[in-house]
Structure 1
């Protein structure tokens, strides 16, 4: 029960919320690409585990006096064939610190088991796990992991009886002529980021276009409304002019009628 509770606490962020915030452009990388970026790669056996009361790599509020932080004493079974920053004889023993259950991840090993490790050396010359691309740097000794590592990596400086692929002279030439997976994947990620940026621009332009269409529709409605009002005004003016013209025409008729009435009177007076 305590182990389950510890995992739940380890999965919680500093504010108590579950989950971790990775960079917005984070993408998972293959183990082959991560192996190219790891500073040190070893195949080693865990001899002992040592409790650590404090670790600079842990940011949990309950880190003191707990069994969640530890270091591992390991025995080097094989080192990477070339390019390693670790220069120790075969069979050397040294400590790997920075293991345990952390706020966003866990680096865990068991005593007397063999593992492939991605390691690095910190500014204080401590050997710590190298979680390339925020992914797990510790791989248990399984047939699947043996096949995976033998397909893209070879080892040297091995202790007698260790069953891993050892260094061969052809491997270096093959490595020099091989296109680095990490370079290809970086180019793919850059292209994916460029496409994402262009997609954001397209969506922004589409929103601006929709806004412009709405403004055009509004202006068309206002224009039609103005035209209707102008038509009504013209009709009103025409009716008014027609009414006034008809009113003006009634006065001559009234004068003619009056003259017609006065003409018989004049004739009578002459007679």
Structure 2
């Protein structure tokens, strides 16, 4: 979450030209409210509640569903279980009755079982893909910032330095999450301190009126002014939340309360 916004504006304004304040404020407002609504509102307050004994991730949710409904590809329930009286009790509320209807529909239709499993596999594959792409893009975006500062530091140098950094990062993963986290905690603290300090300095020195982007009306003005191009730029704005799913997928490393 701290590195993803690095490449958002370069992607957004490669699709939408900067012609007025509305373009900058609209894009910034989109980024701010995307971060506020999806990682904060959706993941922290909604998705984290759906965990399997403190474990998160797509398969954790699937195993949770399989525990309460006979939808697993591998048999996990005996036929005699269905004769237990608790399966046939009249449910006290419409919500529970609706849940039972959904459960029975899933158990009855093999096509729905297969579809659900395919969705789980697809979601897991997308998380794996995101885990491969996000570090590479983040590191290359950070290193490419040196191109304007160092003479002769071209694209080839960016690629080579990025590969060296990524190899170094992945080579220390074998020491375990605890040791890696202990090593990177002060680095992350310094990184976020620098982000905040540089941002505050730029606000005071250049243009504090950029805080007008807190007003979501600029999102409307942005779409009204750029129409079709704004929809194309929306894909770039979503880049600011790449990695947000790790809050749920890596739930086993932290408790729900700690993340909240």
Give the TM bin, normalised by the shorter chain.
Answer: under 0.3
TM-score, normalised to structure 2's length?
0.27
Larger radius of gyration: 1
Going by fraction, where is strand more abundant, 1 or 2? 1
Higher relative contact order (CA 8 A, sep 6+): 2
